[in-house]
Structure 1
Amino acid sequence: MEAHTVIKALEYISQKLCRKGIHVHLIVAGDALSCLLFKSRPTTHSISILQASTLSPRSLSVLFDAVHRAQKKFGLANDWVNTDLGRQVDSDYLDYVIHKSLLQNEIVFSSEGLTLVAIDLCFALKSKLESLTKNYTDKDLEDAVVLLRRLVVIYRGRPLTKGYIRMSYPRMEVSDQILLRLNGLYECYYHTRGVAGVHDEYMEWRREGIVDWSFGFEELKRQASVRTPLEKGLYSWRDKPLPDTPYRDDFAEIFTQQRVY
């Protein structure tokens, strides 16, 4: 689906919701972010959604009807809007992901009856890196660089550390090789580092930048061993209350139904 077609379909859904006096907030992830938010991809296969808050049966029914009417009107695939995202997020992370996504408030689309916000970008990056660790593709690496760039901007130009990436959603595994490739492409695009603290068998990096090989191996190891503690306050979210767990069973089921007109 091309971006302009998706926008028209979302506007159509928004109008249908607005006419019923409904405004729906949803969280989106995947290729839709690259296409609609970052504009780094011209197309997206689908929009994977997650409820930002519990929807009433009436709101679900109107949303369901609008999505299927938009599918027919604009010639979209049956699964152009789906709930795969809810199955991708570990149940232990779900409340936190929703909380962080709403707190982040990265608007993907907003109109009278519908608002889409991006999923927590740390989760999006970690999910992309886990996918790259299992099955590397150049396009996914480029998507990861775009996500990393946005996070670096949010953190006022500071690169993300290997430790921070590993500690964010720790059940998602990411290899050092992928982090090296990620930072290498990031440096190629932006001429500065995006990931700090990565180590492999060939080289070691200082927190301040790539080491100069002229220092010699002993000096290299000594300087690479110096680490600055992670900035305080990164995990202050633990002290904040989380929203109630959304009721998702009906929400996921309703988008798998086949509607015949």
Structure 2
Amino acid sequence: MVGIRLPLSIGTGPSSPRTITSDMISPPLSPDFNFDSDALTSSTLPALEYISHKLQQKSLHVTLLVGRGQPMPTGQAADLVVIPVTELDIASWKIFYRIVEKGARKFSLGQSWTDALSQHIAMRIKNEYLVEQSLRQNEILFSQEGLTVLNVDRIYTLKRRLCVLAASQELCKKNPAHEEKYISSCVSLLHKTITNCQGRPFSPAFFHRIYQNLPVSDELLKKVSIAYKERFNQEGIVMPKPKSKPAAPTPARREIASRTPPVMRAGPRVRRPGTNQSRPIMMHSHSRAPSRAATPKRGPKTPVSASDVTPITRNEWNILMGPEFHQNKPMVTMWVPSPVTVPVVG
């Protein structure tokens, strides 16, 4: 009778090299990691695989940008963003559109994908900057032989969701969880963006400058900033600090201010009546008044007659000149020549 030797179980023997250690177990994924269900849901994977397979059969490869304006898919065309990055000619575009339409109908994606593609044709020029920023971000959601799907720029998605939230304030008052869902999704998008930017926070002015067709208020940015700091214990959006009002003066300061003599400043020179009107008025609002020592003294006035001097000087003038000054005047006579008589010899 031949005995059959059974092999030992793997990992049960004392000298088995196949024992499982803790180094073989990968760490758990971050709670923020998922299939980015904000942009794509798991139900769209079979449709994307079908579209990729059909494009591969047609020897085509198309790159798409996909994003959503709301945290959860709604099936509305206005909520979904689908932008083809690959430039296609008319024939290739028709083939691609027909494949997407057939895949959406077969896997019950609805009309949102085909409607979003139709809207992109009308807004191709406006989406140039969005395409550039999304390609720079390069966040791959799906990639196979015939199709690559990239996530839309997170800042664009964040601003778009804040715009949707601002338009639904009445619903937020009735259902506060609606606002919390939007703010939480914006915080997640902001955290991924800051992580890619080496941990540098943003300023509110950045959100006002970029994608200006999506205006957001400082109030909503402040809510996102507060929620971000509560979750990650760091600044995500650095909001400007409110200006502090000047403190009211204390009674001691008021008493010192009342004792301090006011500073006298030279005001404008006022024109007095009777002065020369042709002289301009000099303004000395910031300069000091000239001192008397630097001002030259006016000299005595040269008298012309006795009426130009004071009574005391008038006597001196009369003594100096004497009464003969006006009486002994030389007589001035006019000489009139008479004709000279010439004798006539006849």
TM-score, normalised by the number of residues in structure 1: 0.64
Whole-angstrom CA distance in 2 between matches of 1:148 and 1:88: 29
Whole-angstrom CA distance in 2 between matches of 1:112 and 1:90: 25
Could you say what the CA RMSD is over the residues aligned between the two structures, in angstroms? 3.0
1:68-217 pair list within 5 angstroms: 68-81=101-114, 82-83=116-117, 86=120, 91=125, 93-136=126-169, 137-198=179-240
1:11 matches 2:49: yes
Q: Is the 8 A contact 1:162 1:196 kept in 2?
A: yes
Q: In the TM superposition, what is the alpha-carbon distance from 1:50 to its structure 2 partner?
A: 1.2
Find the residue that maps to 2:163 and give its secondary structure: helix
Whole-angstrom CA distance in 2 between matches of 1:133 and 1:162: 16
Over residues 186-220 of structure 1, what are the superposed CA-to-partner deviations in whole Å (9 max), with x where a residue is unaligned?
12222222110245xxx57xxxxxxxxxxx8669x
Q: In the TM superposition, what is the alpha-carbon distance from 1:21 to its structure 2 partner?
A: 0.7
AA aligned to 1:181 is K
AA aligned to 2:160 is S
Between the two proteins, the alignment pairs up a number of residues equal to 196
1:45 alignment partner in structure 2: 75
2:62 alignment partner in structure 1: 24
Whole-angstrom CA distance in 2 between matches of 1:77 and 1:120: 24
Over residues 42-95 of structure 1, what are the superposed CA-to-partner deviations in whole Å (9 max), with x where a residue is unaligned?
x5636421121321223222222222222232223122442376389695x422
Q: In the TM superposition, what is the alpha-carbon distance from 1:31 to its structure 2 partner?
A: 5.1
Percent identity of equivalent pairs? 27
Whole-angstrom CA distance in 1 between matches of 2:132 and 2:218: 29
Find the residue that maps to 1:192 and give its secondary structure: coil
AA aligned to 1:165 is F
Q: Is the 8 A contact 2:82 2:113 kept in 1?
A: no
Q: Is the 8 A contact 1:163 1:197 kept in 2?
A: no
Counterpart pick for 1:64 among 82, 97, 100: 97
Change (3 A) 1:28 1:159: same
User: Of the two, which has the highest radius of gyration?
Assistant: 2
Whole-angstrom CA distance in 1 between matches of 2:234 and 2:122: 32
Higher mean displacement: 188-197 or 75-84 = 75-84
Whole-angstrom CA distance in 2 between matches of 1:154 and 1:217: 39
Whole-angstrom CA distance in 1 between matches of 2:127 and 2:93: 20
* Higher share in helix: 1
Gaps of 5+ in 1: 35-40, 205-215, 220-261
Change (3 A) 1:78 1:167: closer
Q: Is the 8 A contact 1:31 1:45 kept in 2?
A: no
Gaps of 5+ in 2: 1-36, 170-178, 248-346
1:38 alignment partner in structure 2: none
1:258 alignment partner in structure 2: none
Over residues 222-250 of structure 1, what are the superposed CA-to-partner deviations in whole Å (9 max), with x where a residue is unaligned?
xxxxxxxxxxxxxxxxxxxxxxxxxxxxx
AA aligned to 2:232 is Y
Find the residue that maps to 1:160 and give its secondary structure: coil
AA aligned to 2:90 is P
Q: Is the 8 A contact 1:15 1:112 kept in 2?
A: yes
Q: Is the 8 A contact 2:222 2:239 kept in 1?
A: no
Q: In the TM superposition, what is the alpha-carbon distance from 1:114 to its structure 2 partner?
A: 0.6
Find the residue that maps to 1:196 and give its secondary structure: coil
* Higher share in strand: 1
Q: In the TM superposition, what is the alpha-carbon distance from 1:24 to its structure 2 partner?
A: 0.4
Find the residue that maps to 2:99 and give its secondary structure: helix
Higher relative contact order (CA 8 A, sep 6+): 1
Q: Is the 8 A contact 2:158 2:186 kept in 1?
A: yes
Q: Is the 8 A contact 2:65 2:152 kept in 1?
A: yes
Whole-angstrom CA distance in 2 between matches of 1:111 and 1:57: 23
